[in-house]
Structure 1
Amino acid sequence: MAYKFNSDAGVIYKYGAPATKSGVQTLQERADVGTMSGIGSVYQLGREDSTNNMYVSIHAAAIGVPTSGQSVESSVAWLQNSATDRRTFQQRPQVLWQQRRLLPTSIDDYVAQSVLAKNDAADLPVCEHRGENAADSPATRLSLVCTQGSPTKPAKLYTVGTLTAQNQASTSFKLGFVPTAVSVTGGGEFALVSGWDVPNTKGQVAIVSLGSAPQGWKPGQARYDWWHGWMDMMHPGFVDQGNYVFMKVIGYVDLPSDMKAPTGIAVTSGIHPYTTLLKYDAGGNISSFQMLNSPMANNRAKMLPGGEDYERYAKGGVAVVVSKSEKRAAFIDLAPLFKYTNDMYLGSAASNLETQNVGLAANQWPYLLADKPQAMPAVVKTATLARRPTAVWTTATRSYWSKDDQARISAYPFWAADPHYARAAIAVEGGELQLFSLGRYAAGAKPTTPAPTDIQLVGTVTGVGDNITHMAAAKGYAGVADPINDLILFTDRANRRWGWVKLASTGETATTGSVLRTMEDSRVDPIMVTMADNYSTQGNVLTVADYAGASIANYRFGDMIYPDKSSGFCTQAGACPTYTYLGEFAGKLALPFKPTSVHSSNVP
C-alpha cells in the first residue's frame, strides 16, 4: 500500500469507501448576485460599493488524485475560498482573481528547480496540512504538502501558500520513508510527519525544523517588518510568522514495534498562538514579542524565567499518532525537543551564537537529533483501540493566556487549582470518539513534569457517524466562547454529512461530549470538511473536499456579519442568515483531481 496513497485504492484504505447513501437532502444554493468590476470574481451577498471596502480574502490549497494521468500539475490547486470586497461577500469557491489559474505559481518553480518532476508518480501529493488555530495565527500562513516517493526516489515536503504569503521551502525525507499525515506545532516551530519506513518495516515520525522569513525574502537580504516577525534573522524551531523559507529533517522518532503503519497524526503544544502576537510597543501599537525582542541575542533575558516574555513561547507538547491497521495509538512527548531548542537559543550567549549558523549540513543549526539524543522526542504511552482509528484531533490549549487555571471556591474568597488539560480525540470505526486527556504533556508556556499516567481515556462520544474520515478545528461558532478547544468539526463520509461535537469537562479529567449539530448534502462525497477563518468578517463558511465529485464545495452554516456597523450591510446576527436553519450551499469549483485534503487561511 505504501506507494498507492495517491490512488483510489490508497484513498479507500485511509478514508473508506466513497459515499453511496441516497435520500440525503439537497441544501438550497445561493445564487450569484453580480461580478466584481475589474477583477471578475462573483459575489453572492451585497452590492458592489467602492466607497465601502473592508477587504478580506481567504485562500485555500487542496491536493488529490488526478482524474487522468499522473502530473503534479493536475494534483495541487490554490483558490479563493471566500472574500469580502467593496461591500460584498463572496462565498463561492473560485480561482484567484489575481492569477486566474488553479495551479499555484510555486509548482512552476519547484518543477523548474527539479524539486518536483512534472509527470513522476513519486511526486504526487499524499498529505497536506495548514495550522488550524485562531484566525491569522502564525502557523496558518502556508500549507505543507507531502509527496509519496517511490522505492528509488525520496518523498518530499514542500510549501503552497496564499497570494501574499507564498515563500517557498522544501526538503527530502530519507529514501523509503512514505509520509501518511503531517501536523504542525502551534507556533509553526516544527512539522511532524507520520510515515512508513518501508525498507525496515517500521513506523516513524519525521521531525522537520521550520524557519520563517518575510514574504519574498532571499538569503543575504535585510529582513523587514512582515507582521512583526523576527527582524534579526531566521530562528528555525522557534515561534515566528509561519511563512517558511527553510526546512530541515532533523530526525526520526521510532514508533513501537506494533505500530508499523501509522496513518494519522495531530500535535499540540498547549499554548495559544495569540500569546505571541498581542504585545504592545512603547507607542501603544499592537506588535509581537519577536519583533520587540529583535535581535534575539541581545534580548535573551526577557525570555528567560522571570522575564516579561517568558510565557510567550512553548515549553513542550505532545503528538498523537494512530495506526488504522494495527488499532493502536501512540503519544509522543515533545518536551525534550522544545527544551533543547529553547536552551540553545536562550541559555547562553555562546549557545545562541551557534544557532546563528543556520544551514542544512549536519554541523549547522538546527542540529540532527542523532547527534543530540537529549533532544529526541520520546514515545511515553501507547493505547490499544477497540476498533480501527480513522481520524485524530487535539485541542490547541485550554485558555487564551498562559496563566494558571483556577476556580473560585463557592462562598469563599479563595481559589482552587482547576487545571484544564488539553484533550485528544481519536475517531474509530462505528462513529465513536475516544477522548484522551493529555495531562501535563501539552505544557503550554510553563515547563511541566508529566508522567505517563497523565495520559488517559477520559470519555467517549457515541453515535457521531458511520465513517468519520476527518476532524478539524472549529474556528468560530455562535454562542461558543472557545470553539478551537471545545468543538470538533467532523466529517462523516458514509452519510454525506458533517457536524460539530461539543465537549464539556466534568472534572479535572472526565470529559463528555455530544453532537451539537449536523449538515448534509446530496451533492458531495466528503472526505474532509474544514472551516475558513472568521477574520474581520464573520463568514461561517465550510469547505468540503468532494472526492467523487472532483471539486471543492462550500457551505455556509451561520449568519454572515460585516464588521462595518455603519455600512447597512449584514451588520448583525439575523441580518444575513442562511436560507434555512440547516445552512445553505455556496457553490462548487471543479478540479482536475479528486481532492483528499483542503485547508484555508486569511491572506495576511
Structure 2
Amino acid sequence: MRRRRPATPTIPRLGACLVAAALACRAEPAGVAIAESATPPPARTSGPAGQSRAQVVKELSDCSREGISRRLGPDYAFYHPSGADEFPEVYLVPARELPKGRGPVRWQWGGPWTPKAGDYSSTQGQILYARDDGIAVDRVTIIEWTNGCFTESPEPPWHGGFRPEPATRAWAASAGDALGVPIAAVRGMGGWSNCALILFSSGHIATAGTATARSTNPILRLPADKLPTAIAVTNKNEFALVTVLDTVAGRGQVAVLALESCGKDTGFVHEWPDRHPCLPNVAVFTGMKLLGFINLPDLRFPTAITAVGNHCPNRLNGKDGHAGLLREYDLAQQADRDAFYKGSNRDFVSTCGFAVVVSRYEGKATFIDLQPLFERVREACFTSEEAFRATRDQGPAPGQWPQTFEAYPAWMPPVVATLDVPEPTAVIASLTGAGKAAACIAARDGTVTVCAVGGLATEAPARPEEVVPSATLRIGRNPTCLTYQKGRPHGFIAACRGDREIVWFELGEGGPTVSRRLRDVRLLDPVWVEQADTHGIETNLITVADFAGRKILNYRYSTLVFATQGGARFGVGADGNAEFECGGIMEFDGSPFCVSATNVN
C-alpha cells in the first residue's frame, strides 16, 4: 500500500419516446432550491459566454433537442458562416436483400446466402436521440455476419426488440413518471461489456443489453439534490462514476457506484458464479450500490468524465492454462483467490487507476486517484479467508460490503490535482497503466492537450506535480466526443462537430499525431463516434451519430476478412483500394447524440 499526499491547490492550467421533455427535464431539480456554496467559489464562476450560475444550471437541466444541441456546442455553420466547403462523397456500398425471414434484411459483402449460419457474429447497442417531444433510446444492430453474408449497415434487430429499447418497460415499472429521460449511455471499454449503463435526467441509473444479454434490470437513483451531467465506467465494469452538481451545496461532485454482475442470478455462463461486486465482470448487471460522493473543490459544473484502471487484458487464464471463464473460479477457495492475487490472473484485476473530470464552464480538469478503490477490493477479495468472509455480508447498509465511504472513509478516492484547460469539451484516458499512460483533454478550439499522469497510473505515489500537460495536438474544432481505437492502446478517435469530420490520432514516442481524417458530404453534424466490436471477422468500422442529419452512419476503413469462416477478403470502396466506404445509414425521427454497442454473445 502506498502513502498518499494531500491534494494541493489548483495547478495552473413510454413508447417510442420515454416521456415528454416538459415532464422529465426541468429548469431546476425538482423540489430543490439552487443554494449558494458556503465555501469560496472557484476562480471562474461563469461559462465562456458569461452565463450566471442560474443560467448554467438551467442549461444543464434542459433536455429538449435544442438544449442537447446547446450543450454540444457550436456546429459547422458557426465556424463557417460563409457557407460549406467542398466535401467528398464517400462510396456507399450497395445493399442486397436477403430472403424474407432469414435473419437481417440487408447485406453488403459475401454471399450468396447459405443454409448454415456458421460462426455467427453481430454487434448491438443503444442509440440515444433527441426528438421534438423528448429523448428516446432504441436498440440497433450495428453490424452482423451470418449465413455467409456480412451486413455493414445499421439495421433494426431481427430478434429481441428495436424501438423502443426493450428494457424501457422495466425502467418504467421501477421508476414510473420519476424516470426522466436518458442523457447518456456507457460501457466499460477494457473488456467485454454486455450491458450499457443508462443515465437519466432524474438521476436514475439503469441498464440495457442486447438480444442475448439480459440483466436483472437493477436501477438506482441518486439523491434528489444531485443534478447528473455525465457518466463513466471503469475498464471492466467494476465501478461507475457519475458527475453531478450538488444543488444545495452549490458544488461539483462525483458519485461512485459499485457494480455487480452475478452469473448465479442470470445464468450467464461467462460470469462469476457468486456475487462479487466491484470485481471485473462482463456487465450482465445484477446490482448497484452508491458508495458516496467525491467533492470537487475546484469545480462547480462538471460536464464530462473518464475513469480507467491500469489493466485491461481480455484473456482470463483458466485452471487448465487455456483461456477460461470467470465461472471456473470459486473465490471461497484460497487457491482460486491466489490465482488473482499472485498467480496466473494477477494482471486481470486493476491495482490502481484514475479519473479525470472536466468543466467547460470553468475551464478546468480535475484528476482523481482511484487506487484506494482497486486496492481495497483486491485486498478484500483475494487475500485471506477472514478478509474474503467479510465480503459475504452484502447489502444496502453502509457497513455491509461494499462499504460506503461514510462507513469506510479510507477507500474514498482523493482529488490529486486540477489543471487549467480552456473550454474542455471531452476527455479520455489510457486503458493501461505504467509510463505511457496519459489523459487527453479536447478543447472547443480543436486543441487536444495530452497530460502526463505520473503515479496515478501506477502503484507509486500519486504526486500533484507529476500531473502536467506534456504535448498538444490540433484536430477539428469543437470535438464533442473522444473514443478508443480498439486494439490500439494509445489510439483515439474524435468527432469534431465544428468542422464536420472524424479524426484519428495516436500517442507515440515522438508525440501525438493525426493518422487519418474522414469527411463525407452525407455527414452533416457528427457529434459522437464509436468503433464497432467484431467477432469472427477482422475489420475496422465506426458508427457516427449525425445530430442535425437525424441519422447514424457506418464507415469501414480496413480490409474485411471472414477470419473464422473461409478467410474471404474484401477491400474498401468500389475498387477495393479506398480509404473509407460508407456501409449504410439509419434514419431517426430525432437527432442521435450517443452510441453504445457491444458484441452479441
Q: TM-score range by the shorter chain?
A: 0.7 to 0.9
Query: Which residue of structure 2 lines up, in the alignment, with residue 581 of structure 1?
Result: 578
Is 2:536–2:565's contact at 8 Å kept on the other side of the alignment?
no
Match of 2:469 in 1: 457
- Equivalences for 1:407-418 in 2 at 5 Å? none
> Which residue does 1:107 correspond to in 2?
168
Distance 1:192 1:30, change over 3 A: same
**DSSP-derived class of the 2:76 partner:** coil
For residues 493 and 440 of structure 1, what CA distance do their matches in structure 2 show?
34
In the alignment, which residue of structure 2 is the partner of 1:566? Answer: 566
Give 1:353-364 correspondences, 5 Å limit.
Answer: 353-364=389-400
Shift of 1:198: 1.8
Query: Does the 8 A contact of 1:421 with 1:438 survive in 2?
Result: no
Deviations 1:276-311 (A, max 9, x none): x331332x54204x4343134544651576444433
- Relative to the length of structure 2, the TM-score reads 0.84
Cα offsets for 1:178-205 (capped at 9, x unmatched): 2211111112110111121122211011
Q: Which amino acid aligns with 1:515?
A: V
Trace 1:373-384 onto structure 2 (pairs within 5 A).
Answer: 373-384=409-420
> 2:486 is aligned with what amino acid?
K
Question: C-alpha separation between the residues in 1 aligned to 2:137 and 2:268?
Answer: 30
Question: Counterparts of 2:533 and 2:337 in 1: how far apart (Å)?
Answer: 35
Does the residue aligned with 1:132 lie in a helix, a strand or coil?
Answer: coil
Aligned pairs (5 A) from 1:15-94 = 15-20=72-77, 22=84, 23-38=86-101, 39-47=103-111, 48-51=113-116, 53-65=118-130, 67-70=131-134, 75-94=136-155
2:424 matched residue in structure 1: 389
Report the Cα distance in structure 1 between the residues aligned to 2:575 and 2:446, rounded to whole angstroms: 28
Could you give the per-residue CA deviations for residues 370-399 of structure 1, whole angstroms, max 9, x where no partner exists? 1211010000011012x210110111116x
The answer (yes or no) to whether the contact 1:54–1:87 under 8 Å persists in 2 is no
Alpha carbons of 1:358 and 1:578: their partners in 2 closer, same or farther (altered >3 Å)? farther
Distance (whole Å) between structure 1 residues aligned to residue 334 and residue 62 of structure 2: 48
Give the counterpart letter for 1:156 in structure 2: H
CA–CA distance in structure 2, aligned partners of residues 304 and 162 of structure 1: 29
Does residue 550 (structure 1) correspond to residue 565 (structure 2)? The answer is no
The residue number in structure 2 matching 1:144 is: 197
Tell me the residue number matched to 1:438: 453
What CA distance in whole angstroms lies between the structure 2 residues aligned with 1:383 and 1:391? Answer: 15
Q: Is 592-601 or 321-330 further displaced after alignment?
A: 592-601
| TM-score, normalised with respect to structure 1 | 0.83
- C-alpha contact 2:65 2:132 (8 A) present in aligned 1: no
SS in 2 for 1:552: strand
1:286 to 2:323 alignment: yes
1:395-435 deviation line (CA, Å, top 9, x unaligned): 1116xxxxxxxxxxxxxxxxxxxx53311100112111100
Is 2:93–2:582's contact at 8 Å kept on the other side of the alignment? yes
- Aligned-residue sequence identity (percent) comes to 25
Partner of 1:367: 403
Counterparts of 1:446-525 in structure 2, within 5 Å, are 447-462=459-474, 464-476=475-487, 483=488, 485-506=489-510, 512-524=511-523, 525=525
Q: In 1, distance between residues paired with 2:241 and 2:415?
A: 14
Matches within 5 A, 1:261-340: 261-274=301-314, 277-282=315-320, 285-288=322-325, 290-299=326-335, 302-303=338-339, 306-340=342-376
- The secondary structure found in structure 2 opposite 1:260 is coil
Q: Which runs of 5+ in 2 are unaligned?
A: 1-55
CA distance in structure 2 between the aligned counterparts of 1:575 and 1:266, rounded to whole angstroms: 33
1:353 deviates by 1.8
Query: Are the counterparts in 2 of residues 266 and 321 from structure 1 also a CA contact under 8 Å?
Result: yes
Provide the secondary structure at the position in 2 that maps to 1:369: coil
Q: Any gaps of 5 or more consecutive residues in structure 1?
A: 150-154, 399-418, 477-482, 507-511
List per-residue Cα deviations over 1:78-133 (Å, max 9, x = no partner). Answer: 1100011111110110110013532222111221x23243xx6x611112211223
Q: Does 1:198 align with 2:247?
A: yes
How far apart, CA to CA, are the structure 2 residues paired with 1:225 and 1:427? Answer: 38
Distance (whole Å) between structure 1 residues aligned to residue 99 and residue 310 of structure 2: 42
Rounded to whole Å, the distance in 2 between the matches of 1:305 and 1:88 is 44
1:10 to 67, 75, 87: 67
Taking a change above 3 Å as real, the CA distance of residues 313 and 296 of structure 1, as seen in their structure-2 partners, is: farther
Q: Is the 8 A contact 2:65 2:591 kept in 1?
A: no
1:233-272 superposed matches below 5 A: 233-256=274-297, 258-272=298-312
Do 2:339 and 2:345's aligned partners in 1 also have CA atoms closer than 8 Å? yes
Deviates more, 1:188-197 or 1:357-366: 357-366
Question: Which of the numbers 166, 190, 212 marks the counterpart of 2:261?
Answer: 212
Distance 2:296 2:580 in 1: 42
Which residue number in structure 2 is paired with residue 401 of structure 1? none
Contact 1:14 1:390 in 2 (8 A): no
- Amino acid aligned to 1:371: A
Q: Secondary structure of 1:287's match? A: coil
Q: CA RMSD in A?
A: 2.3
Which one-letter code corresponds to 1:517 in the other structure? R
For 1:240 and 1:59, the matched residues in 2 are separated by 19
Structure 1 residues 461 and 578 mapped into 2: Cα distance closer, same or farther (>3 Å)? farther
Structure-1 residue corresponding to 2:12:
none
Aligned to 2:207: 159
| Residue 204 to residue 91, structure 1, CA distance change in 2 (3 Å) | same
Distance 1:426 1:194 in 2: 16
Following superposition, the deviation at residue 559 of structure 1 comes to 1.6
Name the aligned partner's letter for residue 457 of structure 1: P
Question: Alpha-carbon deviation of 1:68?
Answer: 3.0
Which residue does the alignment assign to 1:404?
A: none
- Determine the C-alpha separation between the residues in 2 that align with 1:163 and 1:87: 21
TM-aligned CA distance change 1:27 to 1:304, over 3 Å: closer
Moved more, 159-168 or 8-17: 8-17
In structure 2, how many angstroms separate the alpha carbons of the residues matched to 1:455 and 1:322?
Answer: 14
Cα pair distance change 1:68/1:565, threshold 3 Å? closer
Q: CA deviation at 1:11?
A: 2.3
